[in-house]
Structure 1
Amino acid sequence: MNADNKIIELNWRATLSTLWIFVFLNIIFRDIHGFFRTGFLEEIMTGTVDGVLITEELLLIFGILVEIPIAMVLLSRVLKYKVNFWANSIASVLMIVVIIDNGVADLDDIFFVTIQIIGLLAIIWYAWKWPKPAS
């Protein structure tokens, strides 16, 4: 692989990794922003939020789901081209499904969900447009 191809590949990896950081930060700030909703902290203290009992198993599932973008920051940098393509595509689609399934409660949710989905669609686009490295 010549130096120009190596630089192009590093740029694509950096862009994908940066987009995952962008999406992850928006997920975090959407969650933090939710704490300012009237009555939300009281709900958390009861252990039931929006009628859903918060259990250890549910927290584990949430932890696994939030680990996806965290892991993709690193994996976008280290995985081989073909695996990287599939990992970014599958993880992005999965996160879009999770974000949409989570629903929107108010205008700020719509804002954050829109930004997150745009970021994830950009990841999919970059993964598909990434030039195949020369053999």
Structure 2
Amino acid sequence: MKIFNFDGNREQLLSVLWIFLTVNYIYCDVFTMHLAPYLKAFLSGDVGGMKITEEFLLMFAFIMQVPLIMIVLSRYLTFKLNKYLNIITGIFTTSVQAFTLTMGGSTLHYKFFSTIEIFTGLFIIYLAFTWKKVVAETT
């Protein structure tokens, strides 16, 4: 019995995985805003000792651009560049997410989303690392 209908198009699969990863990042942040202590902390500009400044937010805007740009780049880059950029950005985003889990104060929903995000990042790395270029046969 076939469960998945995968046609072998890694570009498409990687792009969809980057979408899935980005949506998980967003929903985790949205869920966090539903907890009164975190919402109050964000509104005060001090979350767990981190000052939420324009520069801080700009840094995270740059970090969030990585998975967002990979949605597009995974579809259209040449094979070699696509493979290695997915490995590098997968390692980067997965490392950042794993690091945030060590910061403490994680809520249950944050741990849940982070686990999904880390495994998705590892899957992206695996898919890119094992990706072999298909050479078209000529007759």
TM-score normalised per structure 2: 0.85
1:4 aligns with none
- Which amino acid in the other structure matches residue 20 of structure 2? F
Q: Shift of residue 37 of structure 1?
A: 1.9
Q: Provide Cα deviations, 1:5-62, integer angstroms capped at 9, x if missing partner.
A: xx74xx1110000010111111111111111223112111211111111111111110
Secondary structure of the structure 1 residue equivalent to 2:36: coil
- Which amino acid in the other structure matches residue 100 of structure 2? N
Q: Shift of residue 110 of structure 1?
A: 1.4
Contact 2:25 2:117 in 1 (8 A): yes
Contact 1:20 1:69 in 2 (8 A): yes
1:117 aligns with 118
Q: Shift of residue 129 of structure 1?
A: 2.1
1:27 aligns with 25
Secondary structure of the structure 2 residue equivalent to 1:39: helix
Q: Which has the higher contact order (CA 8 A, sep 6+)?
A: 1
Over the residues paired in the alignment, what is the CA RMSD in angstroms? 1.5
Unaligned runs of 5+ in 2: 1-6
Q: Shift of residue 98 of structure 1?
A: 0.7
TM-score normalised per structure 1: 0.87
For residues 114 and 41 of structure 1, what CA distance do their matches in structure 2 show? 23
How many residues matched? Answer: 127
For residues 45 and 24 of structure 1, what CA distance do their matches in structure 2 show? 24
Moved more, 96-105 or 59-68: 96-105
Secondary structure of the structure 2 residue equivalent to 1:36: coil
Matches within 5 A, 1:1-135: 8=8, 11-103=9-101, 105-134=106-135
Q: Shift of residue 83 of structure 1?
A: 0.6
User: Segments of 4+ in structure 1 off by > 2 A?
Assistant: none
Secondary structure of the structure 2 residue equivalent to 1:132: coil
Contact 1:81 1:133 in 2 (8 A): no
For residues 129 and 39 of structure 2, what CA distance do their matches in structure 1 show? 42
Contact 1:23 1:119 in 2 (8 A): yes
Taking every aligned residue pair, what percent have the same amino acid on both sides?
35
- Which amino acid in the other structure matches residue 126 of structure 1? L
